[in-house]
Amino acid sequence: MAHVTRRLIAVTAALTISLTGGAVASPAFADPRETVKDATATGYGGAVSTVDPEASAAAIEVLRKGGNAADAAVAAAATLGVTEPYSAGIGGGGYFVFYDADTGEVGTIDGRETAPAAIPKDAFIDKRTGQPYPFTPELVTSGVAVGVPGTPATWERALDRWGSMSLRDALKPAIRVATRGFVVDKTFRQQTLDNKLRFGAFTSTSSLFLPGGDAPAVGSVFKNHDLAETYRLLARKGTDGFYTGPLAAEIAATVQAPPKTARTKLPVPAGHLTTNDLAAYRALDQEPTKVDYQGLEVYGMAPSSSGGTTTGEALNILDTFDLSGMSRAGALHHYLEASALAFADRGKYVGDPAFGDVPAEELTDPVFGKERACRINPLKAATKPVAPGDVSAYDGVCPATAAAPADEKDTENISTTNLTVADRWGNVVDYTLTIEQTGGSGIVVPGRGFLLNNELTDFSTVYNEADPNRIEPGKRPRSSMAPTIILKDGEPFLALGSPGGSTIITTVLQTIMNRVDLGMGISAAIAAPRASQRNTASVTAEPAFIDVYGKQLTGYGHTLTPAGDAFTSAAEIGAATAIEFLPDGRMVAAAEPVRRGGGSAMVLRPSR
């Protein structure tokens, strides 16, 4: 009944908009638009959590028609490409984690973007000055930052490996939403305004997202017929319609000669992506990372993502302490210190394993975690940055101090999106997908309705042979995406993930600690104020976190600074989604109550 009520409200909202000067939508044409967001939903038969009610409704529709979690995840992701185009879409990439109820195993797909074959070592150096391009807005608004997209290949591989539906059928809800439009909310308008300078640099982008020179008004209906037609192309031809043929040629041409406006002052350096790069792209099947924490089995994404190894290492460190027996401030102190240690090792060791040895097994070894835990002083924060550990020689005994590395690039934008889905058979998906910065490269492929990513900015800006994340042709840049599935006694217990740049790892880690160690319910664990320590001199924290814990953590020696960056007006960290599986068979879908405008949790059959 709650779901029916939501849809009736959405119909009324859509018709009201048409009568007050927005996009015309006659009663005969206006499909119910999902506008109401519930942050928590509990029930049976299937569940979904995303940042958007249209995407969650798409997943529920697929589940109701007999599709499984993989089918529903692709449907939701495609719909997010319509309603959350600044965070996700077919111009980007991501990581897909799946629990197979039939086999009891967790599998993953690496759909990360790749560097073009012709990219040079000095791709991010301004030839005019000999210095690196400023990161924002110059480098992020460019063709040179565009990697070969992996999202369409990820969808096709997920459906082939685990799904029960065709790509054509999985795309139907998204095509419908793109065609009849969705209701613009405050978050969509604000994200458009935040990117006005960048979007205004391109004719294709400004005509789509800045009609008349302004962002779409709150309450108006935004339609994307170009994207609907692009999805129809994929429905007809599969991903061959994306990676080969006319669309591939248009993508390559757009990267090599971005459609700049005459008025922009941004340099917009051209990129190197070709049709051969697109034709050669493959999404990769991978084994997940796995660590045991408090009697739970925690599965994550292996490199090229650093999410699984870094979260896993931090959990191994924390597993040596009794966080539940500490004060809240004491537990948070240990969380922050463990995060710094794991990030030190991330920076030294993690990159694309196809281009060098990545010691993922050692980084997630509980013995290595025990040795790294020796570095935590229970009463005082260490001076940051802390030194990486030695994965070549460890035995769990506290070692001598090594030289500390330099700080990492400290990105914290809320771009990217995460979705979590479960079906009636017990299959579970956690999927993180992205186009990197909010708004990606800022470049819409003309006439195709989607933004291209700027994922190559995740490589180190300056080439260094000793850096595992140096830029190289065909390489996948190191990611922080951390889609996670947790089992208890071999059965699903919790699935979760988040957007947020490098804060993804700490958001997932803190949410797990909140739920497992601090005894919060999953909704409260997501809603709790966040802080992120990524081996930097200060801790990035939400204002609410500083208000509650700032004085206590300052007493431990931590320095806290408010969150926020150049890509968002909100001082927020992450926008998590999760599903918890209760012993009585119910599922609790949980989304953000406030961050990023609040998320959308739905279940197939709500319980009282």
CA 116 to CA 131: how far, in whole Å? 22
CA 415 to CA 498: how far, in whole Å? 10
* Sign of the CA dihedral running 127, 444, 430, 505: positive
CA 301 to CA 428: how far, in whole Å? 15
DSSP sequence for 210-272: SGGGSPPPTT-EE--HHHHHHHHHHHHHTTHHHHSHHHHHHHHHHHHS--B-TT---------
Within 309-443, strands assigned E span 417-423, 428-434
In order of 244, 432, 537, 573, the CA distances from 108 in angstroms are 25, 11, 34, 25
Helix axes 503-516, 328-349, angle to 10 degrees: 140
- Give the SS3 label for residue 125: strand
Per DSSP, the chain holds a count of helices (H) and strands (E) of: 20, 18
Residue 46 pairs in a beta bridge with: 423
Query: Annotated catalytic, 416?
Result: yes
CA 518 to CA 330: how far, in whole Å? 11
Q: Can you tell me which residue has the tokens 């119909």?
A: 11
Q: What does the H/E/C string look like for 23-92?
A: CCCCCCCCCCCCCCCCCEEEEEEEEEEECCHHHHHHHHHHHHCCCCHHHHHHHHHHHHHHHCCCCCCCCC
Structure tokens at 467: 């850096």
DSSP sequence for 336-368: HHHHHHHHHHHHHH-S-GGGS---HHHHT-HHH
CA 369 to CA 357: how far, in whole Å? 20
Among 42, 239, 289, 416, the one annotated catalytic? 416
| 38: Cα separation from own chain's centroid | 21
CA 510 to CA 254: how far, in whole Å? 40
Phi and psi torsions of 158, nearest 5°: -60, -40
Structure tokens at 464: 């260094």
- Give the SS3 label for residue 299: strand
DSSP sequence for 456-508: GGGS-SS--TT-TT---TTPPPPB----EEEEETTEEEEEEE--STTHHHHHH
In order of 70, 106, 177, 485, the CA distances from 103 in angstroms are 15, 9, 35, 15
Amino acid at position 553, single letter: L
* Sign of the CA dihedral running 330, 332, 338, 340: negative
- Give the SS3 label for residue 20: coil
Are 436 and 418 a contacting pair, CB within 8 Å? no
User: Which residues are catalytically annotated?
Assistant: 416
